[in-house]
Amino acid sequence: MAHRILIVGGGAGGLELATRLGRTLGKHGKAKVTLVDRELTHIWKPLLHEVAAGSLNTSENELNYVAQAKWNNFEFEIGTLCGLDRDAKQIHLASVKDDKGNEIVAKRALDYDTLVLSVGSRTNDFNTPGAAENCIFLDSLEQAINFHKLLLNHYLSAHSSQSTDGKISVAIVGAGATGVELAAELHNAARELAAYGLKGIQPQNMDITIIEAGPKVLPALSDRISKPVHETLEKLGITVLTSSPVKEVTPEGMNTVDGRSIPASLKVWAAGVRGHEFMKEFGGLETNRIDQLVVQQNLQTTRDENIFAFGDCAACPLGDGSERTVPPRAQAAHQQASLLVKSITIRVEGKTTPLPNYKYKDNGSLVSLSLFSAVGNLMGNLMGDIHVEGWLARMFYMSLYRMHQMALYGVIRTGLLMVSDRVGRSTVPRLKLH
């Protein structure tokens, strides 16, 4: 019997891992590779803020798991992980139901020899009163689409009133990459919506406020990147509040620890990352205080050598001798997927070679402020830390998504997609209007 590799979670890392293992081990019959996800399609998570603002059309950028599996010699199973039996080497998937609650796929169990968990993360609201009830989170495509619909509803309502003095206020908690990029995209969306005739709310009447608990925007990055981003946001008319932890969220807005009250009709929480709640002591596996699976340097879970975890759901040692763990970034998931291709191949082929350890390599950071600016740094062995801004930085930023596509589609198909995207710009609205 072929070695059974089961990958749960079709995010950037999980999908790339399934694709690469399918092209090698699956294609040559050395292993049966199966990917499990609760959705039928994949979209790159760093693009969700663009979906929320309407600057990205999901129907043109989604990847279908069933088709990807057929093209790359792996299998796909739809379902939500609900249990793990380590003794029997089985996972349990909940039943799949339609919009009316009718069961379309029964609850079932899948066997594995090697299990890889890459189920991603959720936003950490730090148990702030009212956050879960009153804020929108951008953890999934569904949530991003929901935000976009709410935004459009505000504009359509104002447009129908035949007035041009309508207002909309948006408060975003968290000045990390998601928060600042969303703010810039929303500022651009306000201009585009008015240009398309929805003039009930003028661009200057969209009030956007970013609220950050730390002393600066992009707290994980250097001042060399943070300062120009902060300056650009303020030039766009976006209010940036730093050193202002939110103590309460109400239907009317945000209340901060320092006594400020920020009114908001749309509230987004984009601060903090933690594992999914169901991962806490999942199957007896070790988890940390934010519900991430604790893994060794080789990405094996600490209590089961047949189970690996990577990406945002895993707490992996940084590899620098400190107690810090790998940051939840797309480049880390990509690097870990590449390592696991080697590690799992070693297991399948029955080699006694020790599994390689993972050490995070920071390739730099890039932040895009919609069409207005981009800034970041690129890190390499030969040239060191290079600071980039403006058009060049935006080109590098856009290349990150193309690199993700090349890992999934290959060079030729990615090139065709780039041509298709270029041609399509002249035939579709610049902003999704539905």
Q: pLDDT value at position 163?
A: 78
236: burial class by Cβ within 10 Å (0-12, 13-18, 19+)? middle
Strands of 61-138, DSSP E:
63-64, 75-78, 81-85, 90-93, 96-97, 103-105, 108-111, 114-117, 122-123, 136-137
Residue 375: left if φ>0, alpha if ψ -120 to 50, beta else—which one?
beta
Average pLDDT, the chain: 92
Identical topology for domains 3-121+275-348 and 131-270: yes
Residues 300-359 have pLDDT tens digits of 999 999 999 999 999 999 877 788 999 999 999 999 999 999 999 999 999 989 999 999
Cα 89 to its chain centre, rounded Å, is: 29
Residues 87-132 have pLDDT tens digits of 999 999 999 999 899 999 999 999 999 999 999 999 999 999 999 9
Q: pLDDT value at position 347?
A: 97
Give the Cα separation of 410 and 355 in Å (integer). 27
How does 147-184 read in b/e, with b if 16+ C-beta sit within 10 Å?
Answer: bbeebbebbeebbeeeeeebebbbbbbbbbbbbbbbbb
Residues 350-392 have pLDDT tens digits of 998 999 999 999 888 889 898 888 888 887 655 567 878 777 7
**Sheet bearing 364-369, strands edge to edge:** 364-369, 373-380, 384-389
419: burial class by Cβ within 10 Å (0-12, 13-18, 19+)? exposed
**Whether residue 275 has pLDDT greater than 80:** yes
Residues 8-32 have pLDDT tens digits of 999 999 999 999 999 999 999 999 9
Q: What is the DSSP letter of 320?
A: S
Residues 174-185 have pLDDT tens digits of 999 999 999 999
Can you tell me the mean pLDDT for 64-91? 97
Listed by start position, the domains of the chain span: 3-121+275-348, 131-270, 364-424
Q: What share of the chain has pLDDT > 90, as a percent?
A: 72
Q: pLDDT value at position 427?
A: 55
Residues 194-212 have pLDDT tens digits of 998 898 999 999 999 999 9
What's the token pair of residue 427?
Answer: 């035939």
Q: pLDDT value at position 50?
A: 93
Look up the CATH number of domain 131-270.
3.50.50.60
Number of other CB atoms surrounding residue 410 within 10 Å? 14
**Whether residue 5 has pLDDT greater than 90:** yes
Residues 395-429 have pLDDT tens digits of 887 888 888 888 888 888 888 877 877 766 655 56
What's the token pair of residue 353?
Answer: 């070679």
**Whether residue 228 has pLDDT greater than 80:** yes
pTM (2 d.p.): 0.92
Look up the CATH number of domain 3-121+275-348.
3.50.50.60
Query: Considering only 59-68, 206-215, 223-232, which range has the smallest mean pLDDT?
Result: 59-68
